[in-house]
Amino acid sequence: QVQLVESGGGLVQPGGSLRLSCEASESIAWIHFMGWWRQAPGKQREFVASAANGGLTDVADSVKGRFTISRDHTKNIMYLQMNSPMPEDTAVYYCNTVPPSPNWGQGTQVTVSS
């Protein structure tokens, strides 16, 4: 089973930008769908975005127009480009296959604050 490791989180100001990475232990070209989820304190994990190996993408309404998901099959990395983040985007961000496997990684913390 492919292992996924998230990175790139940190503190970002509202209106700034941040790029998260999800590095895979093996080729992701054969994985039909991969995605990002997030979990804010006291809330349930929620879907953020997904990307198919053919290029089709989907993003949650809450981040549409601000976040972009992409996959680089040459590097076996999936990205989440976060533009104009808002304080309500503060959460731990996770990547996984779609549908998600039960083995979630540690995630990467994103804090949006001035």
Task: Decide if pLDDT at 105 tops 90.
Answer: yes
Rounded distance, CA 63 to CA 82, Å?
9
pLDDT digits (tens, 9 = 90+) for 8-30: 999 999 999 999 999 999 999 99
Task: Decide if pLDDT at 43 tops 90.
Answer: yes
Confidence band for 1, pLDDT divided at 50, 70 and 90? confident
Helices (H), 10-112: none
Beta bridge partners of 69: 80
Give every CB contact of residue 64 below 8 A, 6+ residues apart in sequence: none
- What's the CA angle centered on 96, arms 91 and 97, to 5 degrees? 150
